[in-house]
């Protein structure tokens, strides 16, 4: 149930196709993969590549469709309503680290890596967070030091979605002695490179089909041609990260929309005291709140996504959209569980999964607390020193 309509025939047709793929191919598998914490199969990723879903917002020169980011977000939403791991593949390839590579990488890097990612033959994850550098990303201590014609990477990363499974990692590292963000750049590290190792797979509350693990770099040699941004390029990296946050926003919106759709159907079918429970005013009030919150989050995402069509999105609009969608997903999935009563607390109805995943997407890509700080910072045109 969508309250808004997509702006053009292309968008509407893409949403229809993505929804059909989600319903026909992934709905029968999603619950089992969730229960067994199954990593998304490689053959399924290649299937998404064959459909063109992994290259929607990637340049035509490397096998992509060269379409606006907002079209990739449509596919992410429709898949995420049903199967989060499937949506995550489209997310990583279109708005995640592969998008940063497409915008910041060298021509040689893009020709070497992007076609395989777009075909679903390779995956790329991003390595930013560390044990003592989560929201404070400029505190990272992973280092890349000059070693002959290349670089030697030492350190470790935490909370890496795709950790231990991805073929490539876009790793943020301190590449000079300049303080703060000025010393940070990024490199492409192969997942099977000598010196790369992984911690145990995290047992997360949600995200059960998306592997997450620590990554350790023990004197890993990286060729100079695999440097994506040099020291001083942190602002460019985080500009691209705003596009990834559009993906985070879409994931939250999808969970909220799915919970709303389930609830609309349920309250008209479920009977108590001889009538459908939608006849009760308390149910109507809860459902109205859910509708308002979901629709507001969608409109804010639409506004933020428009800015990514011709460049980088407005960071204020992105933070407003992400924070709103994150909070909406948590509230709406919780209300949906309440409207379903005891049934909402079972795995059978799928609401508890939506609620668990909603909390995960509120953390990923910058928590609502951090987004609120960014909103005020962007609003006032100044930064706030959290260290004092």
CA neighbor of 21 nearest in space, from 91, 77, 96: 77
Q: What local confidence, expressed as pLDDT, does residue 74 receive?
A: 98
pLDDT tens per residue across span 360-376: 999 999 999 999 999 99
CA 43 to chain centre: 21
Q: What pTM value is reported for the model?
A: 0.94
pLDDT at 49: 98
Distance CA 264, CA 74 (A): 22
Bigger pLDDT: 193 vs 239: 193
What Cα–Cα distance (Å) separates residue 42 from each residue in 45, 222, 275? Answer: 5, 26, 48
Q: What are 206's strand-pairing partners? A: none
* Crossing angle for the helix pair 84-94 and 27-36, to the nearest 10 degrees: 90
Average of per-residue pLDDT across 209-213: 92
Tens digits of residue pLDDT in 274-311 = 999 999 999 999 999 999 999 999 999 999 999 887 78
What's the rounded Cα separation, in Å, for the pair 69 and 60?
A: 14
Measured distance CA(298)–CA(301) in Å, rounded: 5
How far is residue 175's CA from residue 232's CA, in Å, rounded to a whole number? 9
Strand partners, 321: none
Averaged over 99-127, what is the pLDDT? 97
Helix, strand, coil share of the chain (percent; to 5) = 55, 15, 30
CA distance 331 to 325: 10
In the chain, what percentage of residues exceed pLDDT 70?
A: 98
Query: Measuring CA to CA, which residue among 98, 17, 89, 97 is closest to residue 63?
Result: 98
In order of their start, the domains of the chain are 9-119 (1.10.540.10), 124-232 (2.40.110.10), 235-380 (1.20.140.10)
According to DSSP, the β-strands at 124-127 and 168-174 are: parallel
């Amino acid at each position: 149930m969508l309250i808004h309509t997509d702006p053009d025939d292309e968008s509407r047709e893409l949403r229809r196709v993505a929804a059909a793929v989600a319903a026909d191919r992934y709905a029968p598998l999603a619950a089992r993969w969730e229960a067994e914490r199954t990593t998304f199969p490689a053959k399924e990723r290649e299937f998404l590549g064959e459909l063109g879903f992994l290259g929607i917002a990637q340049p035509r020169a490397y096998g992509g469709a060269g379409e606006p980011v907002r079209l990739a977000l449509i596919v992410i939403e429709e898949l995420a309503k049903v199967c989060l791991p499937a949506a995550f593949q489209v997310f990583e390839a279109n708005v995640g680290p592969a998008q940063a590579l497409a915008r910041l990488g060298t021509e040689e890097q893009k020709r070497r890596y992007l076609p395989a990612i777009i075909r679903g033959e390779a995956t790329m994850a991003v390595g930013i967070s560390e044990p003592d550098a989560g929201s404070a990303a400029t505190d990272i201590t992973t280092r890349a030091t000059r070693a002959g014609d290349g670089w030697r990477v030492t350190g470790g990363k935490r909370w890496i979605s795709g950790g231990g499974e991805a073929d490539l990692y876009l790793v943020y590292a301190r590449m000079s002695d300049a303080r703060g963000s000025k010393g940070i750049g990024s490199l492409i590290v192969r997942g099977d490179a000598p010196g790369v190792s992984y911690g145990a797979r995290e047992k997360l509350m949600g995200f059960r089909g998306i592997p997450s693990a620590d990554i350790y770099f023990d004197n890993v040699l990286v060729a100079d041609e695999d440097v994506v941004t040099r020291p001083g390029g942190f602002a460019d990296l985080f500009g691209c990260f705003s596009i990834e946050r559009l993906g985070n926003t879409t994931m939250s919106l999808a969970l909220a929309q799915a919970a709303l759709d389930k609830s609309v159907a349920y309250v008209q079918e479920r009977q108590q005291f001889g009538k459908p429970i939608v006849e009760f005013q308390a149910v109507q009030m809860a459902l109205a709140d859910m509708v308002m919150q979901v629709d507001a989050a969608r409109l804010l995402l639409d506004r933020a996504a428009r800015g990514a069509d011709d460049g980088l999105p407005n960071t204020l609009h992105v933070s407003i959209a992400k924070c709103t969608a994150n909070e909406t997903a948590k509230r709406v999935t919780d209300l949906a569980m309440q409207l379903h009563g005891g049934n909402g607390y079972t795995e059978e109805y799928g609401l508890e999964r939506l609620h668990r995943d909603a909390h995960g997407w509120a953390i990923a890509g910058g928590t609502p607390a951090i987004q609120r700080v960014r909103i005020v910072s962007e609003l006032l045109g100044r930064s706030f020193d959290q260290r004092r």
